[in-house]
Amino acid sequence: MKSDIFKKGIDTLPHRALLSAVGISGADLDKPLIGIANSYNDIVPGHVHLNTLAEEVRRGITDAGGVPVAWGVPGVCDGLAMAVEMRLSLPSREHIADNIEIMALSHSIDGWVGVTNCDKITPGMLMAAMRLNLPAVMLTGGPMLAGELGGQKRDLISCFEAVGQVHAGGLDSGEAERLATHACPGPGSCAGLFTANTMAILTEVLGLSLTGSATPPAVSSRRKALAYQTGRRAVEIARADIKPRDVVTPKSFKNAWLVDLAIGGSSNTALHLPAIAAEGGIELSLQALDDLSRKTPNLCQLRPAGPHFIEDLDRAGGVPAVLNRLEDLLEDETTISGQSIAGIAGAANCADREVIRPMEDPYHREGGIAVLNGNLADEAIVKQSAVDPSMLEHRGPAKVFHTEQGVLEAIKAGQIEEGDILVLPFQGPAGAPGMPEMLSPTAAVLGAGFKKVALITDGRFSGGTRGPCIGHITPEAYLGGPIGAIRDGDEIHIDIPNRKLTVALTDEQIASRVQDGRPPERSMTPLLKRYRKMAVERG
């Protein structure tokens, strides 16, 4: 065992003294040392219950003959951060991976469990798993149940869109306040197929969480049982020295892309999956994602793209049922549970064909995400399954803003018109810096009742964003990307079926404007200054 380095021999007597001080001595010195990286906190709904799950993990580790040692991992609530400082959210992903590297390597643990939930926490832990390649298994905390008001199911996105409805005069502020107390009824990651739940599902598909882990609600008794079994499994894989890179291969990432496209997952997977793969020396191409998208039907209409919630997906059979639908497309790989992907798919059934449609009767013939390019972007991402068919192809004049608040003020002032394409440059990893999500303006546009307004940015969107919202534009404006050349009135052409994003400017006009342009001034914390430097170095 790796931890034997300070458990045996006279030279490490002082180290055993320190272990004794925390209760590890005697027979425990012959047992695997299993870390619990616990992202519990009591301000994030997806994390308020994680201590309860971590205790079950601890019990499972102990019963399987291991010694549990826990530490804390930070977790940002993107929904709250949008109103305060959203730019720190994405950098927290790297911080989480570093946290686990520091704790795991400094204390020579034999294996670890990531107790996680929410948008950047799960990707950060997966990055750490691939980077360290120590025996590891993830336990995601489960989705929140949908809220209900007026006989209708509601969620956090209902509240974001209500803001635009109030400003447009379509909703009374008192009724909106009632919505705020009914939309989020308890613990768990937000109830739809937003980034947190998308990443939980893909963690299961990658094989780094136990089969059936992603979709049981946070309040379900099954969640506690999964926590206990996850603890036991962590000890087993530590003893057998089964490591993440033994389980997660290029084929595993192909499976993850396939499931992501079939369920219509968050566009942020285009950001997270390549980063996770890179930690294991695997290169993921967004062009490969788009190639798969053209061949993979969209089988689910989960919020925000449709009426169903994660609890509905769970009732229909969860991830195994999705794998069953995709059986003929999947690559067979092993999982941390010891089961193969083919075995999981073959043993599963779908209990609701409207929640997970069969391959021959999909909601859309193509997958949930499309990758666009043109003279405005080398690559850009759109969640095409959440775009109204009437807006899959659109031309309109640009209206340029350098802050989200500017968009919200323009909506309030009645300065946005049907047909406009709102442009938010300098929102990328270097430009913002930190690449904030744009849920507030996109939801406000929809809430205000606009049907023909699009938004493009070199920032990113929440997994809860719906509509013709194109993000992740590269190169970003701060690094000389053409999105920084757009001015009010420029005609932009969005053509999702043909994967094109263009502006009616010549190459010479774009180059001249980029050269003459100046990035907006941004206030930055020391962390954001470091993050901008890293983003510039990466290019």
Using left for φ > 0, alpha for ψ between -120 and 50, and beta otherwise, residue 268 falls in: alpha
- The CA-based angle 272-382-87, given to 5 degrees, is 50
Catalytic site residue from 39, 89, 209, 462: 462
Residue 86 to residue 457: CA distance in whole angstroms:
15
Q: What is the enclosing helix (H) or strand (E) of 422?
A: strand 421-424
Q: How many residues does the chain have?
A: 539
Work out the angle at residue 434's Cα, subtended by the Cα atoms of residues 205 and 480, and round it to the nearest 5 degrees.
Answer: 110
Which of 128, 95, 98 lies closest to 113, judged by CA? 128
243 is written with which tokens? Answer: 């490591």
Tokens 């994030």 found at: 44
Say if residue 429 is preceded by a cis peptide, omega within 30 of 0.
no
Residue 495 backbone phi and psi in degrees, to 5: -135, 85
Q: Is 209 a catalytic residue?
A: no
Helices 156-167 and 173-180 pack at an angle, to 10 degrees, of 170
Enclosing H/E stretch for 345: helix 341-347
**Integer CA distances (angstroms), 324 to 215, 359, 466, in order:** 16, 10, 27
* 3-class secondary-structure state, position 69: strand
Question: Which residue numbers are catalytic?
Answer: 462
